[in-house]
């Protein structure tokens, strides 16, 4: 072989070695990149969802679809079940739908459908405003991931039932039919407006949206104090259409700030702005947020005390459900606000706490609920410092929203 041939072979060998080193280097960087992506998922987040997956899967087996739905725990530690007519009945099927949406595990879809079917008939109930909670947190949640025409028809029927409780002279939807109030409206009622907004878009009928907007506007006018804390119950005179009392039913006092009520308000006005682009709703949501954030700082872990005005703070119970609702609302509000980064920060801090050992159940414990330490109604000694189903629902919703904001690949968690 001549000189040029030897030079060519040497150069080809050198090139081959360099190429091999370069290939190995690139392969290492790619592997490292994939490894880094996996490590970027916060441990608290991954553990929270894996625990929720386990708890819900076991619950679906334990509480094989019946005519009752898990709600909370009794004082003796036994499960409190709710009939379909109860206001919390939609949350367990909603939890199953949320987990299906994140994990794409068809087992959750099958059981979610079974539980959703058990709510059939509730769309025609006109005795309560909670038809929105029942039907939209179940069937409405399913529509994020599926297109079920029967569910759509049922939701329109539910919206009509809710619409029947609207008084055009007062401008609000009646909340309760019990008690001695003339016409009571609770701040929680804002949450049911989402059903009306959906129905308006689906049917192309503005009447549902107009009712929802008027209810929200009337609530701004009468439900809030100067600091943007909220009264729980406003009673209206059916003749003059004016408020005649402002009080509480589940809070510490008529002048106090019941934590879950503030959470409902924050969530409700954020949703109302999303559906209408009316600036007064965004302003209201941000003003409520400005009131809530300092209240969260009363507790190092950012989980609200059951009433922000309780004189027993810090020696009183928390309400994890209020924390979960606030976190979910913050993660939605950040889309529309120049304070978005602040809201995500606070939501993340809340979710980290809810995903800690203090609030997140160990797998197989807590009667298969996901979160601990919620409070339903302390004044009635009802569901105090126990797991409650709607805390799990808003926790899962908040975790889903957080995952989307952070572009987390759910396959890395559930596969």
User: Is residue 13 scored above 60 in pLDDT?
Assistant: no
- The number of folded domains in the chain is 2
User: Is residue 60 scored above 80 in pLDDT?
Assistant: yes
C-alpha angle 22/23/24, rounded to 5°?
Answer: 90
Rounded to two decimals, the pTM is 0.91
Q: Does 21 lie in the same domain as 167?
A: no
Structure-derived torsion over alpha carbons of residues 285, 235, 205, 278, reported in degrees to the nearest 10:
-20
Is the CB of residue 196 less than 8 Å from the CB of residue 146? no
Computed over every residue of the chain, the mean pLDDT equals 92
**pLDDT value of position 8:** 35
Q: Does 25 lie in the same domain as 78?
A: no
User: Is residue 165 scored above 80 in pLDDT?
Assistant: yes
Q: Does 160 lie in the same domain as 33?
A: no
pLDDT in tens, 238-268: 999 999 999 999 999 999 999 999 999 999 9
| Owning domain of residue 394 | 41-414
Q: Does 32 lie in the same domain as 60?
A: no
Name the pLDDT band for 4 (thresholds 50, 70, 90): very low
Is the CB of residue 158 less than 8 Å from the CB of residue 136? yes
User: Is residue 29 scored above 60 in pLDDT?
Assistant: no
**pLDDT value of position 40:** 86
Share of the chain above pLDDT 90, in %: 87
Question: Alpha-carbon distance 155 to 142, whole Å?
Answer: 11
Name 124's Cβ contacts closer than 8 Å, sequence gap at least 6.
157, 161
Q: Does 26 lie in the same domain as 153?
A: no
Question: Alpha-carbon distance 344 to 289, whole Å?
Answer: 12
Q: Does 89 lie in the same domain as 25?
A: no
Structure-derived torsion over alpha carbons of residues 357, 363, 368, 370, reported in degrees to the nearest 10:
40
Name 372's Cβ contacts closer than 8 Å, sequence gap at least 6.
320, 358, 359, 360, 361, 366, 386, 387
pLDDT in tens, 33-45: 444 445 589 999 9
User: Is residue 99 scored above 50 in pLDDT?
Assistant: yes
**pLDDT value of position 35:** 43
C-alpha angle 326/107/152, rounded to 5°?
Answer: 65
Q: Does 127 lie in the same domain as 27?
A: no
Q: Does 301 lie in the same domain as 262?
A: yes
Question: Alpha-carbon distance 248 to 384, whole Å?
Answer: 17
Residue 92, Cα to own-chain centre: how many angstroms? 12
- Reference 390, options 44, 82, 6; nearest CA is 82
Q: Is 129 helix (H, G, I), strand (E, B) or coil?
A: coil
Q: Tokens standing for 4?
A: 């040029």
**pLDDT value of position 109:** 97
Q: Does 151 lie in the same domain as 18?
A: no
Q: Does 239 lie in the same domain as 369?
A: yes
Helices (H), 224-315: 259-276, 279-296
Is the CB of residue 320 less than 8 Å from the CB of residue 335? no
* Residue with token string 């009392």: 245
Structure-derived torsion over alpha carbons of residues 314, 189, 141, 62, reported in degrees to the nearest 10:
60
User: Is residue 24 scored above 80 in pLDDT?
Assistant: no
User: Is residue 20 scored above 70 in pLDDT?
Assistant: no
> Between 28 and 50, whose confidence is greater?
50
- The residues annotated with a catalytic role in the active site are 130, 188
- Reference 307, options 297, 299, 293, 317; nearest CA is 317
Is the CB of residue 403 less than 8 Å from the CB of residue 348? no
The burial class, CB within 10 Å (0-12 / 13-18 / 19+), for 198 is buried
Q: Does 63 lie in the same domain as 5?
A: no
pLDDT in tens, 345-372: 999 999 999 999 999 999 999 999 999 9
Angle, to 10 degrees, between the axis of helix 259-276 and the axis of helix 206-223? 140
Share of the chain above pLDDT 70, in %: 91
- Provide φ and ψ at 389, rounded to 5°: -60, -35
- Reference 290, options 229, 350, 222; nearest CA is 229
- Reference 408, options 29, 49, 30; nearest CA is 49
Sign of CA pseudo-dihedral 398, 329, 385, 129: negative
> Between 8 and 64, whose confidence is greater?
64
Domain holding 290: CATH number?
1.50.10.10
Question: Alpha-carbon distance 377 to 359, whole Å?
Answer: 19
- What is the DSSP code string of 40-84? HS-HHHHHHHHHHHHHHHHHHHHT-S-SEEEEEE-TTS-EEEEET
Question: Alpha-carbon distance 206 to 358, whole Å?
Answer: 46
C-alpha angle 316/232/135, rounded to 5°?
Answer: 100
Q: Does 362 lie in the same domain as 314?
A: yes
Angle, to 10 degrees, between the axis of helix 259-276 and the axis of helix 279-296? 150
Name the pLDDT band for 63 (thresholds 50, 70, 90): confident
């Amino acid at each position: 072989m001549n000189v040029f041939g030897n030079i060519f072979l040497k150069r080809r060998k050198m090139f081959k070695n360099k190429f091999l080193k370069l290939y190995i280097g690139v392969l290492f960087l790619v592997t490292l990149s994939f490894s880094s992506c996996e490590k970027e998922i916060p441990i608290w987040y991954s553990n929270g969802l894996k625990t929720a997956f386990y708890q819900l899967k076991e619950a679906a087996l334990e509480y094989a679809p019946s005519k009752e739905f898990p709600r909370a725990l009794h004082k003796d530690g036994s499960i409190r079940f709710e009939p379909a007519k109860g206001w919390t009945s939609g949350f367990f099927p909603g939890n199953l739908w949320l987990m299906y949406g994140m994990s794409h595990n068809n087992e959750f879809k099958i059981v979610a459908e079974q539980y959703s079917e058990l709510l059939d008939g509730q769309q025609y109930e006109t005795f309560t405003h909670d038809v929105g909670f029942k039907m939209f947190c179940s069937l409405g949640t399913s529509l994020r991931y599926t297109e079920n025409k029967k569910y759509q028809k049922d939701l329109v029927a539910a919206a009509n039932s809710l619409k029947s409780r609207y008084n055009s002279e007062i401008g609000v939807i009646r909340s309760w039919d019990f008690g001695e109030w003339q016409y009571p409206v609770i701040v929680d009622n804002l949450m049911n407006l989402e059903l009306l907004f959906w129905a308006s878009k689906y049917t192309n009928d503005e009447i549902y949206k107009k009712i929802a907007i008027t209810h929200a506007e009337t609530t701004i006018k009468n439900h809030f104090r100067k600091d943007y804390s909220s009264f729980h119950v406003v009673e209206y005179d059916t003749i003059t259409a004016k408020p005649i009392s402002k009080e509480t039913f589940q809070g510490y006092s008529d002048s106090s700030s019941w934590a879950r009520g503030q959470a409902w308000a924050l969530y409700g006005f954020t949703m109302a702005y999303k559906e209408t682009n009316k600036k007064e709703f965004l302003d209201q949501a941000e003003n409520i947020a400005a009131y809530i954030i300092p209240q969260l700082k009363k507790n190092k872990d950012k989980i609200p005390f059951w009433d922000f005005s309780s004189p027993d703070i810090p020696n009183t119970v928390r309400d994890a459900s209020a924390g979960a609702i606030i976190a979910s609302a913050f993660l939605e509000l950040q889309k529309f606000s120049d304070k978005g980064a602040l809201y995500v920060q606070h939501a993340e801090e809340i979710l980290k706490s809810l995903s800690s050992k203090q609030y997140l159940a160990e797998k197989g414990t807590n009667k298969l609920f996901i979160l601990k330490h919620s409070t339903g109604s302390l004044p009635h000694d009802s569901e105090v410092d126990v797991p409650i189903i709607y805390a799990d629902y808003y926790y899962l919703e908040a975790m889903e929203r957080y995952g989307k904001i952070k572009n987390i690949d759910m396959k890395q968690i559930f596969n």
